[in-house]
């Protein structure tokens, strides 16, 4: 079998057989060489890189896998960079959190040991915690960095390693590339200091929890309405993850007293036994919670992903049937509620702003502008939203932000998407809607009547392994070099190529600079306000196509008919793009 394996792959694999790796690892590598060359290739054909979600991959042996050595090397690289970047600090400090993933405490222990072996003070949470609480802890404890062991909503075979900077946000340029450079400078696993210094490792937990929850409670805009509707029946599920630790406490701190659990899904389990995927973007993930809500007569369902930075929402309609909200709809409702209540209280002074990603609905920008609030766009990934917040600190006031992939933030004491905060504010918005004799679905209809019926679709094409990565790049080249002239009957008026930071007018051929970091993303804009964004995923082996369409709607129009018509338009666009 070995003769069919690429020479560079074999060289990497042999370095693991000959190096100071543990015997179990060597045995597994040898078995792959002899029996599974395809898996060996996938495991060694590249190094794990920091993408929009940091270091993330399938657990197993190899340079392209999450294991003791890739985690150790990443941590040693981070330690080396921290000691260079903060060389004037008397004591460099790093906080570490982890979710319910398999090998969670194992990878956490490796990271803590390597950091402390390098003389760095480490704060480690005593149990699973939401990723956004790590962001809060970094700022609270005045750390220079942070690590969370999580693969977010990926399948059970994945784990991950996200790095944060001293502002509590995920690392971006130049720090991300500099850390990778330090990792790449490690030519031998013997350069990694695995023997930890326990005197530099401190356990944290309940005190940070209380301070975090208190900050969330301070975000409430209508405590008197919550008190009036404190018995609002809310079904919540953490999907076996970290949200169980704090989401119910946060809701209770705001005054909600009728939080209904899904007991089977409160259990921490990295195998996610009750669901196919722990992703609240997928409707099946909420099935058990919706069944519980129907049994209990609840009005609102919320589900968070394993590290509790994303939240999915379902709301009961007038016919008593639960409807799932997509990420754009929830973001619009949250932005509308928070901004309108700020305006009602006279808090809009002209220096406030929101942030969204380029793939998120343009409806959110329209809502903000209508209330005199500025709106910023960023590349996909909440770290870019956090970068805007840092840039605007002490200049303007951040109110709320979000992205279509179910991630939202209210307030700036956390610098990442935060499902604990979002679930709390969504529940408050639901109570506000009830106070006004409606539901969140009624509120959404009102938004559409005012701003137009925006509808979004997402098509993902999975392409695994080295061959898949090449196919994805070939697809991107096709969309970049041979763009369509007409999409669903409407001429393409503008094209944005983020790899060159330019916008092209199709009418004149003129190019204009756009002020975004270079990224492998293409956008098409048509004359009928359709927006199409095409990009490779930063965390999964897939290419993603985001489609946004719009139709004016009036009071007497058939709401469902327009909804169906927009679905047809989205499906037509997917076929026209010929994704296969």
Distance, CA of 143 to CA of 78 (rounded, Å): 14
460 catalytic per annotation:
no
Strands of 415-567, DSSP E: 453-462, 486-487, 490-497, 502-505, 511-513, 522-526, 531-536, 542-551
Q: Where do we find the tokens 């763009």?
A: 483
- 274 DSSP assignment: T
Question: Which residues have CB under 8 Å from 410's CB, separation 6+?
Answer: 219, 334, 338, 399, 400, 418, 421, 422, 425
Distance, CA of 454 to CA of 566 (rounded, Å): 9
Backbone angles phi, psi at 105, to 5 degrees: -70, -30
Strands lying side by side in the sheet with 300-304: 259-261, 234-237, 300-304, 311-316, 322-325
Helix axes 243-254, 206-217, angle to 10 degrees: 40
Beta bridge partners of 63: none
Backbone angles phi, psi at 101, to 5 degrees: -60, 155
Distance, CA of 165 to CA of 180 (rounded, Å): 14
Backbone angles phi, psi at 492, to 5 degrees: -75, 120
SS3 64: coil
Distance, CA of 79 to CA of 323 (rounded, Å): 47
Q: Which of 116, 152, 405, 488 is catalytic?
A: 152
Distance, CA of 440 to CA of 53 (rounded, Å): 30
Distance, CA of 508 to CA of 510 (rounded, Å): 5
Distance, CA of 169 to CA of 544 (rounded, Å): 24
In b/e form, how buried is each residue of 116-135, taking b as 16+ CB within 10 angstroms?
A: bbbebbbbbbeebbbbbbbb
Backbone angles phi, psi at 95, to 5 degrees: -105, 145
For residue 165, give the H/E element and its range. strand 158-165
Q: Which residues are catalytic?
A: 152
């Amino acid at each position: 079998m070995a003769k069919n394996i690429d020479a560079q792959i074999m060289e990497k694999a042999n370095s693991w057989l000959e190096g100071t790796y543990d015997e179990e690892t060597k045995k597994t590598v040898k078995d792959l060489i002899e029996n599974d060359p395809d898996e060996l290739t996938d495991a060694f054909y590249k190094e794990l890189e920091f993408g929009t979600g940091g270091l993330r991959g399938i657990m197993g042996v190899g340079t392209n896998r999450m294991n003791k050595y890739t985690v150790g090397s990443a941590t040693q690289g981070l330690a080396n960079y921290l000691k260079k970047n903060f060389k004037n600090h008397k004591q460099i400090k790093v906080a570490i959190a982890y979710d319910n993933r398999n090998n969670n405490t194992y990878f956490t222990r490796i990271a803590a040991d390597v950091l402390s072996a390098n003389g760095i003070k480490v704060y480690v949470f005593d149990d699973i915690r939401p990723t956004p609480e790590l962001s809060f802890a970094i700022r609270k404890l005045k750390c220079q960095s942070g690590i969370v062991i999580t693969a977010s909503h990926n399948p059970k075979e994945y784990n991950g390693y996200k790095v944060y900077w001293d502002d509590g946000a995920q690392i971006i340029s130049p720090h991300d590339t500099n850390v990778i450079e330090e990792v790449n400078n490690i030519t031998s696993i013997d350069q990694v200091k695995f023997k930890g210094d326990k005197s530099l490792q401190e356990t944290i937990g309940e005190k940070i929890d209380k301070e975090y929850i208190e900050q969330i409670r301070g975000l409430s805009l209508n405590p008197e309405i919550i008190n009036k509707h404190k018995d609002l029946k809310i079904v919540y599920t953490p999907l076996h993850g970290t949200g169980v630790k704090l989401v119910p406490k946060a809701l209770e701190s705001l005054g909600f007293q009728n939080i209904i659990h899904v007991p089977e899904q409160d259990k921490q389990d990295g195998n996610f036994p009750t669901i196919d995927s722990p992703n609240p973007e997928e409707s099946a993930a909420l099935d058990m919670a919706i069944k519980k809500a129907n049994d209990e007569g609840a009005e609102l369902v919320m589900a968070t992903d394993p590290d509790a930075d994303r939240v999915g929402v379902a709301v009961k309609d007038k016919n008593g049937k639960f409807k799932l909200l997509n990420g754009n709809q929830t973001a619009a409702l949250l932005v509308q509620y928070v901004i309108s209540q700020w305006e009602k209280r006279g808090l809009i002074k002209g220096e406030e702003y929101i942030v969204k990603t380029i793939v998120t609905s343009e409806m959110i920008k329209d809502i903000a502008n209508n209330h005199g609030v500025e709106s910023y766009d960023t590349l996909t990934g909440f770290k870019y939203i956090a970068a805007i917040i840092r840039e605007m600190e002490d200049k303007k006031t951040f109110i709320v932000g979000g992205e279509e992939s179910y991630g939202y933030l209210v307030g700036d004491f956390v610098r990442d998407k935060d499902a604990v905060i979002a679930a709390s504010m969504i529940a408050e918005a639901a109570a506000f809607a009830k106070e006004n004799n409606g539901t969140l679905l009624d509120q959404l209809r009102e938004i559409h009547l005012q701003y137009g019926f925006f509808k979004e679709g997402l098509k993902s094409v999975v392409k695994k392994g080295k061959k898949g990565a090449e196919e994805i790049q070939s697809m991107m080249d096709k969309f970049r070099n041979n763009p369509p002239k007409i999409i669903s009957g409407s001429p393409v008026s503008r094209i944005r190529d983020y790899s060159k930071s330019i916008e092209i007018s199709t009418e004149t051929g003129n190019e204009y600079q756009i002020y975004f970091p270079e990224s492998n993303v293409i956008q098409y804009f048509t004359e009928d306000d359709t927006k199409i964004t095409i990009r490779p995923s930063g965390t999964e082996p897939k290419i993603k196509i985001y489609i946004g369409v719009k139709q004016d709607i009036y009071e007497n129009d058939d709401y469902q008919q327009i909804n169906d018509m927009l679905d047809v338009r989205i499906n037509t666009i997917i076929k026209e793009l010929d994704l296969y």
